[in-house]
Structure 1
Amino acid sequence: MPQPEEAESARPLWRDRNFNVFWVSQTLSVAGDSFAYIAIPLLVLNVTGSVAQMGLLTGVAGAASICAGIFAGILADRLDRRTLLICCDLARLVLYGLIPLVWAFGPQVWLLYVVLPLSEAIGMVFQVTYVTAVRNLVEGDRITEANGRLYATAAAAGVGGPLLAGVVSGQFGPTAAIAINAASFAVSAAGLYFVRFNRPEAGAPAPARQKPWQELLAGARFLWRHPVLRSLTILLSFFIFFTLGMTDVLIYHLKHDLGHSDGTVGTVLAVAAAGTIAGAVLVAPVRRRLGFGVTWIGALATSGLAMAGVGLSGRVPVIAALMAVYLCGVSVAGICSMSLRQQVTPDHLLGRVTSAFWTIHFSLGPVGAAVLTWGAGGYGVTVICLLAGTACLLIATTALFTPIRRPAPEQSAPTVS
């Protein structure tokens, strides 16, 4: 007769109350975030008419996010994760709620330079803790499926949210859209209040107190000592170098080379987003059937081929379909990578490992985006897409000669931290 723990693990994910409450509340929160994504630029442009102001605000907010990312892992590993997530949501509820309240008495652009950097910094802490929370929410063999569902609905909300935000901003003004975003954090906090996270495994090592610099480096050390995670981190850093600017290159191709309208650009991006959702839905069954190595390597190779095809095509339907395939591959590879980190990292290190991975992974991204877009303007989109696509194929080929090729690296002996 199955024990209660076995019955709980065998129960389908859609019948898991904890996961479903978390899933619904976080999907609504992502939809709310997309309202601010549209409304903040509109608010700045309506008041100042300056794109430069928006660029400066985005830069300051981005810097705050990166700085917070350095310490977010320590907070996620040292504090109660459920409480930390709720506090992050409540703090952002207050910060974003200030904007429509203050704006009711007149525009105050200075407030955005306070609210947005603080909110982005808190948002980074939330995101790192969110990744660790999934590990405490579902069993290890269901992590990939859980990430796929969360990723799929987040992608769908990211498509539908901006459309609704545009309607709300047009009818009631950008501050109304920002108020909806603030309310979404209340929904998220309420959902988290009713979620129960699993406690760390019995017998797991207690987190030892270390010096601050040792705390910061603990995640990077674990990544380096784990053969699969080390290879993934290195190869994905090069992958992001060649792909982060792909959306800008696509828009340039459609507008400059092919002469299409903004509406066409939006349609192509919406179709492409369907690829992200498809990848998130497919990743769990594909990984179960083919194993980690084949799934991850195949996803990167598929993305590379699709990217090369974009540069060779001059037909909008073909470009949209290829971009959907490209983002499907990116989605599958990304969820596989994240799920593996959650499965093999000791719970007391997961926050710092997540922070270290994101910091290393994205370090080459801004440089790559600048190089890619500069190259597209100087040498043409075809050359750049072929170059980037070939680079992705080389990365996938290189992975064949690394421990990434293993079908079930999560079953390997744990690395000592």
Structure 2
Amino acid sequence: MTRSGSDLHPPAPVPLRHNRDFTVFWTVQALSTLGSSFSLVAIPLLVLHATGSVAQMGLITGIAGAGTVASGLFAGVLVDRADRRLLMIWCDLARLLLYAAVPAVWWTAGEHVWLLYPVIGVASVFQMVFDVACSAAVPGIVAREQLTAANSRLQATYGAGFVLGPMAAGLVAGLAGPVTAIAVDAATFGVSVVGLLLIRVRPVAGASGGADDGRPRAVWQDLAVGVRFLWRTPVLRAITLLYTPVTFLSLGLVDVFIFYVRHDLGQGDRVVGGLLGAASVGSIVAAVITPAVRRRVGFGPAWLSAYLACGAAIAAAGLVFNLAVVLVAAVVFAFGETMAAISSASLRQTVTPEHLLGRVTAGFWMIHHAFGPVGALVLTSAVARVGVHGPLIAVGVSFLAVVAAGLFTPVRARHVQPADR
């Protein structure tokens, strides 16, 4: 049988700028990120104002990390079995109610710091499920060859949200208190729900909750499918193992930077918001240039050089006691983190069959986040005990060690072939 010309030359995908579903998805996630950046600033400030303890800030971050790890046990299975768009809608509705509970209680019954712990813990579960569904949904909205560009645009707008959000959150927190900033975050989840109702996501070919013989699989068996794929794919196995110490080292860094600026440098909430907002300029720059960098140097050099920059920036922040140096370090760190994240997500979406993407993404995040809560507690406890400088230098040097280890793994490769679909 001969192939037609259309089979030999499939039609070009719709450009991203003309893809209505991606444009709406992109816009509402940027707005949601703007709101989330309010909580990124407001919750640590609320804890710091109420307790004055960096260790308590680390405990909140650790609880969020633990929720992320725990939800990884089922998030990927749920994403691969359910309608991904509807799943994201339900997650946004749940987070709207959870975050709205904080201002509702604060404004009617007074300060109750204890409420933050269950709210953040449960919200982190829905956050994990949403993030897995969001990552797995992108290939159902854009063509495969557009994944890096789509991820870069998403990361660019996320970065823009984190430029405007922390500065606005610092201003709102300074004028009306951190609780009001959390209320803004709750409202943005409602905007995200409306946007998600307006888009379509292609159904996943080959998705099922059953084994090859048609019998239903247990959740743990479905999860094991994703973990096995990770382990049997050399580059995914290597990057998962390398990300584990990275997450351990970095999960508590935002708390440390906030404490550094507020406590050691004696600056106010507005400066904290401005610092985090300015740092996000690095994220935007990384999102804009990463597709070109990936085309020019390939995956491995882009990922490794991104974390080389992160390590150098963190070590510099620990070595020099100066607000300007901390600002530059935060910008460079955000740049490196974003370039690495875009490269990693695009690689995972490219090499993983679409019907496995939820389980593989969840398995990836669950494994490398497993020690993140412990890392946040260790880092913030060390800062509380010995100060900021020594721990930051140790974290920076450890990042450089991760990069050195990566040079001896498949992560160093410029190009990786996708798995059979």
Q: CA deviation at 1:294?
A: 1.3
- Equivalent position of 2:34 in the other structure: 31
Q: Following the alignment from structure 1 to structure 2, what is the Cα–Cα distance between the partners of residues 382 and 102? A: 37
Q: Following the alignment from structure 1 to structure 2, what is the Cα–Cα distance between the partners of residues 124 and 146? A: 20
Q: Structure 2: any 5+ residue segments left out of the alignment? A: 211-215
- Equivalent position of 2:140 in the other structure: 136
CA pair 12-2 structure 1, distance change in 2 beyond 3 A: farther
Q: CA deviation at 1:50?
A: 5.4
5 Å-filtered alignment, 1:156-305, equals 156-165=160-169, 167=171, 177-201=181-205, 204=206, 206-208=208-210, 209-250=216-257, 259-262=265-268, 265-305=272-312
CA pair 331-34 structure 1, distance change in 2 beyond 3 A: closer
- Equivalent position of 2:156 in the other structure: 152
For structure 1, which segment, 237-246 or 57-66, has the greater mean C-alpha deviation from structure 2 after superposition?
57-66
Q: Secondary structure at the match of 1:151?
A: helix
CA pair 370-97 structure 1, distance change in 2 beyond 3 A: closer
- Equivalent position of 2:213 in the other structure: none
Q: CA deviation at 1:246?
A: 3.6
Counterpart among 329, 333, 336 of residue 326 in structure 1: 333
The AA in structure 2 aligned to 1:155 is G
CA pair 268-8 structure 1, distance change in 2 beyond 3 A: same
Q: Secondary structure at the match of 2:72?
A: helix
Q: Following the alignment from structure 1 to structure 2, what is the Cα–Cα distance between the partners of residues 177 and 382? A: 30
Q: Secondary structure at the match of 1:70?
A: coil
Q: CA deviation at 1:330?
A: 1.6
- Equivalent position of 1:351 in the other structure: 358
Q: CA deviation at 1:151?
A: 1.7
Q: Secondary structure at the match of 2:324?
A: helix
Q: CA deviation at 1:19?
A: 0.8
5 Å-filtered alignment, 1:16-95, equals 16-37=19-40, 63-95=66-98
Q: CA deviation at 1:328?
A: 0.9
For structure 1, which segment, 284-293 or 238-247, has the greater mean C-alpha deviation from structure 2 after superposition?
238-247
Counterpart among 362, 367, 373 of residue 360 in structure 1: 367
Q: CA deviation at 1:129?
A: 0.9
Q: Following the alignment from structure 2 to structure 1, what is the Cα–Cα distance between the partners of residues 161 and 127? A: 17
Cα pair 1:268 1:316 within 8 Å, conserved: no
Q: Secondary structure at the match of 1:407?
A: coil
* Normalised TM-score (structure 2): 0.81
Cα pair 1:200 1:347 within 8 Å, conserved: yes
Aligned length: 407
- Equivalent position of 1:389 in the other structure: 396
CA pair 405-106 structure 1, distance change in 2 beyond 3 A: closer
Q: Secondary structure at the match of 2:74?
A: helix
Q: Secondary structure at the match of 2:227?
A: helix
Q: Secondary structure at the match of 2:199?
A: coil
Q: Following the alignment from structure 2 to structure 1, what is the Cα–Cα distance between the partners of residues 98 and 65? A: 17
For structure 1, which segment, 395-404 or 238-247, has the greater mean C-alpha deviation from structure 2 after superposition?
238-247
| Residue deviations 1:222-258 (CA, integer Å, cap 9, x gap) | 111110000000011122233334445545655666x
Identity %: 44
Q: Following the alignment from structure 1 to structure 2, what is the Cα–Cα distance between the partners of residues 214 and 67? A: 16
CA pair 394-179 structure 1, distance change in 2 beyond 3 A: closer
CA pair 188-247 structure 1, distance change in 2 beyond 3 A: closer
Q: CA deviation at 1:165?
A: 4.2
- Equivalent position of 1:317 in the other structure: 324
CA pair 343-207 structure 1, distance change in 2 beyond 3 A: farther
The AA in structure 2 aligned to 1:312 is L
| Residue deviations 1:112-166 (CA, integer Å, cap 9, x gap) | 7776554443232212211111121111222122122212222322342244345
Q: Following the alignment from structure 2 to structure 1, what is the Cα–Cα distance between the partners of residues 386 and 45? A: 34
Q: Structure 1: any 5+ residue segments left out of the alignment? A: none
Is residue 12 of structure 1 aligned with residue 19 of structure 2?
no
Q: CA deviation at 1:414?
A: 3.8
The AA in structure 1 aligned to 2:397 is T
Q: CA deviation at 1:218?
A: 2.2
CA pair 317-70 structure 1, distance change in 2 beyond 3 A: same
CA pair 153-217 structure 1, distance change in 2 beyond 3 A: same
Q: CA deviation at 1:183?
A: 3.2
Cα pair 1:22 1:192 within 8 Å, conserved: yes
Is residue 402 of structure 1 aligned with residue 405 of structure 2?
no
Cα pair 1:64 1:120 within 8 Å, conserved: yes
Cα pair 1:207 1:348 within 8 Å, conserved: no
* Normalised TM-score (structure 1): 0.82
CA pair 50-342 structure 1, distance change in 2 beyond 3 A: same
Q: Following the alignment from structure 2 to structure 1, what is the Cα–Cα distance between the partners of residues 104 and 319? A: 51
More contact order relative to length (CA 8 Å, sep ≥ 6): 2
Q: Secondary structure at the match of 1:86?
A: helix
Q: Secondary structure at the match of 2:73?
A: helix
The AA in structure 1 aligned to 2:375 is G
